[in-house]
């Protein structure tokens, strides 16, 4: 019987494991199929993590986290958890290979992944000029022109954010209307250095060994090709929440979620199901920053220790 099962090995899961084991929990297992560290390990440059003055890669930033957590007793199982069920006060976790594990508490720290737009060059230049995080990477384009792809709240909000850093922001959208809140649309339209490029399809993002140098868009009206020479492209076409493990057979969830499938939590990372916690990008209103996910993990672990006490 485990005290705590952690599903996911990113900043939230690792920090929770560190705090839980150092706080006295004896049997804590982190289930993570790949190398612990999370999505941030794919980032080429990190310069906004507190206490790290030097610019480093995400892989370098996360390198010592698993070792530190495991020093206090966190165990790592390279298994994918496919279902979580609670009967009475015990959770049963089932892995993809059919093994089962029982635990007194569960922390879901599986995160979410940016949805790909599917244009030519997206995979080739992802992390080398194509980004899905303006807060993370916007500063690298200070005083330069960039493009934002998308038409929802996130795209417009990030375009406005980037407009304060960059000399110009092209807002590229396949329609001429937006799926954002009226106040967000108004704010964007009143921002002088945002240029709307609407009713277009992204043909390709191109570049060289140094990274992105531009993107081409095709008009849906007359087929004309427009070339935007920018070193940075930010893609905001939605995110997929990694919540499959907490789904019931009928497609519903074992705890409350919002319309996007993000897990509803309180300030202590508690879900609507006692003993089940969620931290990091899988939860509602997540800032999608490493430092915030780590804070979530610590917050959850502290309350889990009290819950099990």
Residue 304 phi, psi (nearest 5)? -65, -40
3-state secondary structure of 58: helix
End-to-end CA distance of the chain: 15
Among residues 27, 133, 153, 303, which one is catalytic? 133
Closest CA to 149 of 208, 210, 209, 212: 212
For the beta carbon of residue 94, count every other beta carbon within 10 angstroms. 16
Please say whether the beta carbons of 265 and 283 come within 8 A.
Answer: yes
Which DSSP string do the residues of 112-158 spell out, in sequence order?
EEEPP---BTHHHHBTTTEES-HHHHGGGGTTSEEEEE--BHHHHHH
Q: Is 137 annotated in the active site?
A: yes
Distances 80 to 167, 187, 240, 282 between C-alpha atoms, Å: 44, 43, 17, 16
SS3 184: helix
DSSP label at residue 280: G
Give, in order, the Cα–Cα distances in Å from 222 to each of 151, 195, 225, 229. Answer: 21, 20, 9, 21
Q: Which of the following is catalytic: 137, 166, 255, 296?
A: 137
166 is catalytic: no
Active-site choice (3, 88, 123, 136)? 136
Q: Which residue has the tokens 């009967």?
A: 87
CA distance 273 to 297: 18
Residue 283 neighbours by CB distance under 10 Å: 26
| Residues belonging to the active site | 133, 136-137
């Amino acid at each position: 019987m485990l005290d705590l099962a952690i599903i996911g090995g990113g900043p939230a899961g690792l920090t929770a494991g560190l705090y839980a084991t150092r706080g006295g929990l004896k049997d804590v297992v982190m289930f993570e199929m790949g190398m612990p560290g999370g999505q941030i390990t794919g980032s080429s440059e990190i310069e906004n993590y507190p206490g790290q003055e030097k610019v480093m890669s995400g892989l370098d930033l996360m390198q010592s986290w698993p070792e530190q957590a495991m020093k206090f007793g966190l165990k790592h199982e390279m298994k994918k958890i496919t279902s979580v069920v609670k009967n009475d006060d015990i959770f049963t976790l089932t892995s993809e290979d059919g093994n089962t594990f029982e635990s007194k508490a569960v922390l879901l720290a599986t995160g979410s992944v940016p949805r790909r737009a599917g244009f030519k060059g997206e995979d080739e230049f992802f992390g080398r000029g194509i980004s899905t995080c303006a807060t993370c990477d916007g500063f690298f384009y200070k005083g330069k022109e960039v493009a934002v792809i998308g038409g929802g709240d996130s795209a417009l909000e990030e375009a406005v954010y980037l407009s304060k850093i960059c000399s110009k922001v092209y807002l590229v959208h396949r329609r001429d209307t937006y799926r954002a809140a009226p106040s967000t649309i108004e704010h964007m339209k009143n921002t002088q250095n945002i240029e709307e490029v609407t009713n277009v399809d992204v043909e390709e993002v191109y570049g060289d060994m140094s990274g992105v140098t531009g993107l081409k868009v095709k008009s849906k009206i007359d087929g004309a090709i427009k070339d935007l020479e920018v070193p940075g492209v930010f893609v905001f076409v939605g995110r997929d929440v990694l919540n499959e493990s907490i789904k019931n057979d009928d497609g519903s969830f074992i705890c409350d979620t919002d319309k996007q499938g993000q897990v509803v939590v309180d300030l202590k990372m508690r879900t609507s199901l006692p003993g089940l916690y969620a931290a990091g990008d899988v939860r509602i209103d997540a800032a999608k920053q490493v430092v915030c996910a780590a804070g979530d993990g610590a917050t959850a672990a502290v309350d889990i220790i009290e819950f099990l006490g």
